[in-house]
Structure 1
């Protein structure tokens, strides 16, 4: 409740909708200039709402920045070396805005912002009562289903996986994962799930968890010297320790779509039958986190070797960019390390992300003041009939492509429910999903809708394609360009996203190892609406095709 209250206060003040680190050597993106301060009372309320501020200091001036913060009565809670950040609090007698104003006079300080909350993209439509559980299954009939959408029936490889819920995974069929499985089933890269954690004991995920080979489980020591004790399966940004167990369910669901173990006779199968899943808990058991925590999670992920990051989270439309600058800088560091960052476009019922950005997904928008981050992919959602989901955000410039995400539905009594037309995947043993969420396998699997569910389809696809010998040498930007260029265009997405297309893995086994599709033209940013993205040819340009 406190985080929700914080979000509401920040939203009101900034005019938007409600809603253990050690220094390393890394390329630092150019820092933005400090934003103009709000009027006194409004600014004070903004900082009081969060109770914390993030101080971005100049590289090499950590000690000076810490000393100046303490001199002005602030309490330095944490130092995050990779981002040149301090997380500060303050006692009641200190006025946060006054301290901020004084600190910004220092040459050691670049900018200061409140530590704003971030969360799972909400599914609540405007004008509807809160999504409430109900006692009985849905009385309303699901939408009519297309034959190909109801099962994975197009598989023509050496043998379909024996996972019992395969025929319920319409999303895998929609992206032609079943065709890709004829030659590609295993991802050799690490995929970080930036979410509520992962239930690393789940029957369909345990074998695909990335295990830190340099850490001795349970000995209470930081064996690998990375600043995190016992990080066998990942990182918990709230405790600073190595237990990223999911007790919400959202992160485990996303993980199952990326890499539910294939052909094990259990549950579901992910885009990758075999993969290394890295759990990075940046959202708590209520599905909420903070700017500082997300930055720590991103930096942990690329330092741990993740080449793909899946982020089914974000801020509400119109959140000031200044509030999330440290996240942009962290994603930029991940790009320098060679990682692709896949993010949910959001569930705000056709919000146009071109005009009301949704971060972090909108950091891939070519119209961003500092230019698009080339490693970001923004993902919209489609339903089982391969139409845009009723909840999905759009943006013909800022949203890149769509993937399966289901549909938000209400029965005749106005109660929210999920069914077979949503995305089936694994859920944590301890979770927050009530009886309105349809389940399978004794409750170990559930159907959920959202761009949160669309995002891991793309994350899994990037990992699978990147692991093919013919594509393994591509850069992060190039692998992004390849997957976008191979997406399947559909009329229903015309004008709604940059590619106007659905993720499609049908090319993987087709023997086409050449990403560019002629004829091509070179277009400077921003992208003309009539063009689709291809790999960049030089830093300030993109290649597009008609």
Structure 2
């Protein structure tokens, strides 16, 4: 697209020849208020001592080059109050979103739903953050997990109960003497959870976890998919004492174990450890339930360190499959048919599982990602940040306290701004004021259809398929010579060109 230089007023020319200092290469972007034409705004800028170097987006946006020694904040401080100016901001650097080279990443749509690639621009995790996976064990030899498994962890379920020995002298002795054991469930539940939280990212193998780097600590508290309340509580104590900053609890007991499990959650809170617990799924042959009325532990425990999670993938919430609670569940995350790692000896290297267990793992991963970037946060601070990092969705009203689904892009305030919340950073968004995640731009002018008064689309898309009328190849080819002829005088005249 050809961009013309801004018309120069006589005042602007005088400033250019006289008072203006050499340009530094830094620029600010000035947005015009609705109804303000380009000429009027140019004059206003010139009177304030600023020169427009080029116009963009049908004259709605104007780029101003800063003079030597002039700072962006100072310039915007002077420009923002001017008549006709809607906003002023730095013409910042646009970076491609961090996308790993893992070959199955394109099958992990749930990571796009929670905007993980945007968060990865800020951090991909850290091996200094320990996440305990209280579950059925983890395949310790999985090639997509091994680098994030610094130890074999603990095995609570195989401790001797009746035979004499050191394992009867205390919880930690028992945990230390029991041999480590790989995932033993037919569904490879624990290994699946581990991959969601921390499958090694950008290693050219399989999938990417929410954290590309993290220290996963397997704590086996379930055998063949179930365990006792005391096994879980002892495992939680062991995880805390073993250095965990986050505990993932993708399991639950319906109305059972309140005292013991909530004591374990309180121990974690006392030691500044985040606990993320599943709200639960439908009972065998039944329906999901409201855990405000019929609690699920440990998700229903009280604690400033506890997050209870349900599953939501889009559309209507599904109460036939997943538990909910208007006050007892905190937030939602994707939970249907998520691809993750599996035990190599049972289900294969990668497989699909569904449930609030999987949703919980994504939130645990988010907690670990936040702690990698801000390690001094308390568990209560992590909880508060995660509750604020959601997209509010009408279908979740009455289903969880935030009415929201996890959005990692909102977890890091210093990350790219996304004014319309469509998952595309403002610096890359062709229509930052309207939700348009597909970034459709029929006429290719850089203004998204959602913001374009003349998008070059028919109302119905000419019979379906996206609403765009593409320029015929012959017409496009014929347009090039004319465009080059128009451009040549500007280049010869020293006209400056800049891309967005």
Shorter-chain TM-score tier: 0.5 to 0.7
In the TM superposition, what whole-angstrom CA distance separates every residue of 1:486-526 from its partner, at most 9, and x where no partner exists?
A: 2111111011100000011112454179xxxxxxxxxxxxx
- Aligned counterpart, 1:340: 274
For the 8 Å contact 2:138–2:194, the answer to whether it is kept is: yes
For the 8 Å contact 2:289–2:319, the answer to whether it is kept is: no
Distance 1:472 1:394 in 2: 31
Secondary structure of 2:264's counterpart equals helix
- Aligned counterpart, 1:182: 121
For the 8 Å contact 2:386–2:411, the answer to whether it is kept is: no
Alignment of 1:230-379 (within 5 A): 241-248=178-185, 249-284=188-223, 286-316=224-254, 319-320=255-256, 323-348=257-282, 349-363=287-301, 372-379=302-309
How far apart are 1:467 and its partner, in Å? Answer: 1.5
Q: Identify if the C-alpha distance between structure 1 residues 272 and 355 changes in structure 2 by more than 3 Å, giving closer, same or farther.
A: same
For the 8 Å contact 2:98–2:117, the answer to whether it is kept is: no
Where does the alignment leave 5 or more consecutive residues of structure 2 unmatched? 1-93, 155-165, 417-500
1:428 to 2:343 alignment:
yes
- Aligned counterpart, 2:312: 382
Q: Identify if the C-alpha distance between structure 1 residues 344 and 156 changes in structure 2 by more than 3 Å, giving closer, same or farther.
A: farther
Distance 1:237 1:430 in 2: 27
Q: Identify if the C-alpha distance between structure 1 residues 308 and 386 changes in structure 2 by more than 3 Å, giving closer, same or farther.
A: farther
Q: Find 1:211's aligned residue among 130, 148, 151.
A: 151
Q: Identify if the C-alpha distance between structure 1 residues 303 and 492 changes in structure 2 by more than 3 Å, giving closer, same or farther.
A: same
For the 8 Å contact 1:191–1:463, the answer to whether it is kept is: yes
How far apart are 1:200 and its partner, in Å? Answer: 1.1
For the 8 Å contact 1:237–1:282, the answer to whether it is kept is: no
Distance 1:175 1:385 in 2: 15
Q: Identify if the C-alpha distance between structure 1 residues 173 and 387 changes in structure 2 by more than 3 Å, giving closer, same or farther.
A: farther
Distance 2:191 2:173 in 1: 14
How far apart are 1:159 and its partner, in Å? Answer: 4.5
Distance 2:320 2:110 in 1: 16
Higher relative contact order (CA 8 A, sep 6+): 1
- Aligned counterpart, 1:24: none
For the 8 Å contact 1:253–1:425, the answer to whether it is kept is: yes
Q: Identify if the C-alpha distance between structure 1 residues 497 and 509 changes in structure 2 by more than 3 Å, giving closer, same or farther.
A: closer
1:503 to 2:443 alignment:
no
How far apart are 1:257 and its partner, in Å? Answer: 0.2
Secondary structure of 1:498's counterpart equals coil
Distance 1:315 1:375 in 2: 19
Alignment of 1:463-502 (within 5 A): 463-468=368-373, 471-502=374-405
For the 8 Å contact 2:315–2:395, the answer to whether it is kept is: no
Secondary structure of 1:298's counterpart equals helix
Distance 1:244 1:312 in 2: 18
Q: Identify if the C-alpha distance between structure 1 residues 467 and 238 changes in structure 2 by more than 3 Å, giving closer, same or farther.
A: closer
Secondary structure of 2:297's counterpart equals coil
Normalised by the size of structure 2, how large is the TM-score? 0.57
How far apart are 1:240 and its partner, in Å? Answer: 5.1
Q: Identify if the C-alpha distance between structure 1 residues 156 and 380 changes in structure 2 by more than 3 Å, giving closer, same or farther.
A: farther
1:395 to 2:325 alignment:
yes
How far apart are 1:261 and its partner, in Å? Answer: 0.4
How far apart are 1:326 and its partner, in Å? Answer: 1.5
How far apart are 1:157 and its partner, in Å? Answer: 3.9
Distance 1:340 1:237 in 2: 24
How far apart are 1:189 and its partner, in Å? Answer: 0.9
Q: Find 1:194's aligned residue among 117, 123, 134.
A: 134
* Structure 1 stretches of 4+ moved >6 Å: 235-239
Where does the alignment leave 5 or more consecutive residues of structure 1 unmatched? 1-154, 216-226, 229-234, 364-371, 407-421, 434-442, 514-546
Normalised by the size of structure 1, how large is the TM-score? 0.52
For the 8 Å contact 1:338–1:475, the answer to whether it is kept is: yes
Distance 1:203 1:157 in 2: 28
How far apart are 1:400 and its partner, in Å? Answer: 0.3
For the 8 Å contact 2:249–2:275, the answer to whether it is kept is: yes
Q: Identify if the C-alpha distance between structure 1 residues 472 and 389 changes in structure 2 by more than 3 Å, giving closer, same or farther.
A: farther
Distance 1:449 1:401 in 2: 17
How far apart are 1:375 and its partner, in Å? Answer: 1.1
Distance 1:481 1:389 in 2: 26
- Aligned counterpart, 2:106: 167
For the 8 Å contact 1:164–1:267, the answer to whether it is kept is: yes
Q: Identify if the C-alpha distance between structure 1 residues 451 and 484 changes in structure 2 by more than 3 Å, giving closer, same or farther.
A: same
In the TM superposition, what whole-angstrom CA distance separates every residue of 1:287-330 from its partner, at most 9, and x where no partner exists?
A: 111011111100110001001000111112xx24xx44112111
Secondary structure of 1:199's counterpart equals coil
